[in-house]
Structure 1
Amino acid sequence: MAKNSARDIEVKAFATHHVITQPNPLRKVLRRVEAKDMDDPVGRAEQALAGLSGEFKDWMATEVDRLSAAWAAIQKDGFDDARRGELFRAAHDIKGDAATFGFPSAAVIAESLCRVIEHAPDLARVPAELFSHHINAITAIVHENTRLDSLSVSSELSRRLRKVADEYLAHVNRDRPEHLEAILAPSIVPGE
């Protein structure tokens, strides 16, 4: 960039101070575009998203299959760090993607499952039904979420699963106050 010369700098003197204004060098590189030629990146993104929306259910089905496979491996061989990690990552990915892909209740349930995995002191002692209910609910929401009346059912299901998971976690962590604050915190998943 070229340096400004002293004559390009404007100085306004006031009784108590001076205001120094230098020219904006970006004006030389700025290109004016007529309104008819303006690009709308948000509009293009929305069009691209609409074009992909037909694939959302397939993507979610793939994530649900990954979650189910992780749970099946744990049922077969028990918990270890790798299987625990895979179950958590699968649930966490669903938590992050489900609302965007049109399955907000699945996101709430996946968050609840993540909380169980993260805060239970001993995953081997968590009732298997707690895991199964979460995974089965996510599977049902993704595979059967085609009717409008299913939204109220899935919303109620997600609320109840969260409540059961929170009660369980509060009970098993009653002697671990550092976990209780996180367990009793409100959901971070966007509302339905």
Structure 2
Amino acid sequence: MTDKDHSDETERISFGAAVANAQAAVAGLSDQYIGWVNADLERLDIAVAAVTDGVEAQTLRTVYDVAHDIKGQGSTFGYQLVTDIGQLLCRYVDEAIRRKKVDREIIDAHVAALRTVVDNRIQGQAGEIGAEILDTLRSAAAKSFA
């Protein structure tokens, strides 16, 4: 084995150990994730409470920001459906700002879906049920702008 081969092997072992350590750290934090996401959902409730039929971009931007935070953490901790619902909520809010039209019930449906996933600790994409939730939210959002 050449010095370069030995160096490459050492780097692979070091990288593998670093990945294993990172995965263990994330696994250790996943128990704390439920507390974090529930705190974010409380922040989302406060932001959504300010949403009225009179579209105010800044109010909706606050909803977007909290939904974006929720979206960003979900898949990291095994809650892909949280990420997907959060992403749909961000898209809906972006479109509501653009069109200057919002349907609070659509936002509420996204929040209820997020709470259901978190409260029931539904990890991954939840198969057909998860797909049905996402399809229903997409359809409702599209109809609200029709």
Q: TM-score, normalised by structure 1?
A: 0.59
Q: CA–CA distance in 2 between the matches of 1:155 and 1:105?
A: 9
1:103 match: 79
CA deviation string 1:73-123 (max 9, x = no partner): 335x96534322210101111122112122211222211111111112113
1:157 match: 133
Give the unaligned 5+ runs of structure 2: none
Q: Does 1:122 align with 2:100?
A: yes
Shift of 1:151: 5.6
Shift of 1:137: 1.0
User: Would you say the 8 A contact 2:79–2:123 is kept in 1?
Assistant: no
Q: CA–CA distance in 2 between the matches of 1:157 and 1:95?
A: 16
Q: Does 1:92 align with 2:73?
A: no
1:43 match: 20
SS in 1 for 2:78: coil
CA deviation string 1:118-137 (max 9, x = no partner): 112113xx222111111111
Which one has a bigger Cα radius of gyration? 1
Match of 1:138 among 103, 108, 114: 114
SS in 2 for 1:145: coil
Q: Does 1:61 align with 2:38?
A: yes
Identity in percent: 29
In structure 2, give the amino acid aligned to 1:64: L
Q: Which one has the bigger strand percentage?
A: 1
Task: Tell me the matched-pair count.
Answer: 135
Q: CA–CA distance in 2 between the matches of 1:129 and 1:41?
A: 45
Q: CA–CA distance in 2 between the matches of 1:62 and 1:108?
A: 19
Give the unaligned 5+ runs of structure 1: 1-26, 172-192
Kindly tell me: are residues 92 and 147 of structure 1, through their superposed partners in 2, closer, same or farther at Cα, counting changes over 3 Å? Answer: closer
User: Would you say the 8 A contact 1:106–1:158 is kept in 2?
Assistant: no
Q: CA–CA distance in 1 between the matches of 2:40 and 2:130?
A: 18
Kindly tell me: are residues 84 and 147 of structure 1, through their superposed partners in 2, closer, same or farther at Cα, counting changes over 3 Å? Answer: closer
User: Would you say the 8 A contact 1:109–1:138 is kept in 2?
Assistant: yes
Q: TM-score, normalised by structure 2?
A: 0.75
